[in-house]
Amino acid sequence: LAEMAAGLEKDGLALKMIPTFVTRLPQGHETVTIYALDIGGSNLRVIRDRLSGNGKIVQEKVVKKTIPDAIQKSDASQLFDFVADAIAEAMIGDDTKDKSLGFTFSFPVSQTALASGTLIKWTKGFTAAGVENNDVVALLDKALKRKGVDVTVAALANDTTGTMMAGAYQSPGSDCCIGLILGTGSNACYVEKIENVKKWKGDPTASGLMAINIEWGNFDSEKRQVLPLTEFDKMLDKQSPNYGSQIYEKLMSGMYLGEIVRLVIKQLQSRNLLLSGTASSQSLDRPYAFDTAFLSQIVADNTPDLQETLSLLRNIGVVNSTLAERQALKEIATAVGVRAAQLAAVGIAAVVTKMGKGATGCSVAVDGSVYEHFPGFRVNMQATMAKILGNDKVKMVLTKDGSGNGAAVIAAVH
């Protein structure tokens, strides 16, 4: 709570608390046909969305591309040319004039208007040169011009804001005022009273409200007073592309959970305590090769001899494993998942408390693979929030594709 309040007062602190220029929630009756571009992890999507006015969002066309690692780590023009090509592909056959696009860009962006903002710092696996400290909409516009694609960027959004807006559009009247992402990365946004946003230099908003992108993944990264880190967390941080930052995110998001478990296994293996009777494998030796999806499969394995875990291990080159070893592995994976869910719950409980809704609750729109697919994640989160808040009035609503669709909703509402 103290870090949130501090971030609302000035820039440059651990919690960025970014005003998003989203000042109104949708009613569910807005109608528009618009493109939505979603960049946030290794996949990008371009969707032609139709908001049909009854809380429904129809995806008329979807183009999905994996952004190759080499492009993620290239430079601004290569990255945005790749993006512009995908947009051009999505627009094939659409000869309507004045096309517009909502752009979800899921990185810490200092927003300067509804449709412009500067990347503060790359997170997750991205390092493309020449994007940090630049306006990402201007970079996209330039690439669109180079490629001869005619479309106007109507809104720039973080995926948390997009998810909150998509959730609010789809369930009007549900008091959906928090957006949460638990996917490759993690973050949340919420609706704040503009008078509490002390650093806001603009006019008061007509609604008196402003959605704030917390960028909560960086919580406690400066003071290091709160989060208890294990030796594995410290090792992971040291070897990550963004050493020292996003500490909270590194404890609970999909990019890192598998890696934490890989580091634990490697250490136990080196002490002959786990999987010592087997040659090591590519997936255990190469950083980030032990996918978080593996953890979900291991935790979900309820066969008597953990047969599914056995074949998963074989598939990644670990030929021999005893039942006891597989049970230990399941316990490690479960513990890492439970910790992540509990930490995410602490964050939401804090945001709800900050909004003064601890007693009444509200609804939280959630998107992301960890929340959706990690066994028990939702239940563990819900239980921890109930313990902290003393009630179970916070309602979490899975809002699939919210991050993409939401930018379309934002453009329609503003």
Name the site residues for ligand BGC (rule: CB under 6 A): 40, 106-108, 123-124, 158-160, 181, 183, 185-187, 215, 217, 249
Q: Is 243 helix (H, G, I), strand (E, B) or coil?
A: coil
- Tokens 């066994």 — which residue? 375
The C-alpha atoms of residue 408 and residue 162 are separated, in whole angstroms, by 8
Nearer to ligand BGC, 19 or 40 (CB): 40
Nearer to ligand BGC, 117 or 183 (CB): 183
**Token pair 């696009």 is at which residue?**
101
Give, in degrees to the nearest 5, the angle at Cα 400 between 397 and 403.
105
- Written as one string, the DSSP assignment of 335-378 is HHHHHHHHHHHHHHHHHHHHTT-TTT--EEEEE-HHHHHSTTHH
CB of 338 to ligand BGC, least distance (A): 21
CB of 274 to ligand BGC, least distance (A): 31
CA–CA distance from 134 to each of 81, 103, 117, 118, 120 (Å)? 16, 16, 8, 5, 8
Residue nearest to ligand BGC (CB): 185
Is the Cβ of residue 159 or residue 401 nearer to ligand BGC in the bound state? 159
Distance between CA atoms of 117 and 100, rounded to whole angstroms? 17
Q: Is 121 a catalytic residue?
A: no
| Chain position carrying tokens 């306006």 | 135
Question: Do the Cβ atoms of 374 and 407 come closer than 8 Å?
Answer: no
302's tokens: 């309820």
Q: Which of 16, 99, 124, 330 is catalytic?
A: 124
By C-beta, is 187 or 278 nearer to ligand BGC?
187
Shortest Å, Cβ 109 to ligand BGC = 7
Closest CB 84 distance from ligand BGC, rounded Å: 22
Q: Quick one: CA torsion of 128, 133, 136, 141, rounded to 10 degrees?
A: -100
Q: Rounded to an integer, what distance in angstroms lies between the CA atom of residue 141 and that of residue 78?
A: 13
The residue (of 19 and 28) whose beta carbon lies closer to ligand BGC is 19
CB of 402 to ligand BGC, least distance (A): 11
Among 159, 237, 301, 367, which one carries the catalytic annotation? 159
- Minimum gap (Å) between residue 290 Cβ and ligand BGC: 20
Least separation in angstroms between CB 296 and ligand BGC: 18
CB 300 within 8 A of CB 334: no
Residue with Cβ nearer ligand BGC (50 or 400): 400
Residue 124 annotated in active site: yes
Question: For residues 106 and 187, what is the distance between their CA atoms, to the nearest angstrom?
Answer: 9
Distance, C-alpha 317 to centroid of its chain: 31
Which residue number, 337 or 368, has a Cβ lying nearer to ligand BGC? 368
**Cβ atoms of residues 308 and 316 within 8 Å:** no
The number of residues making up the chain comes to 414
Active site residues: 124, 159
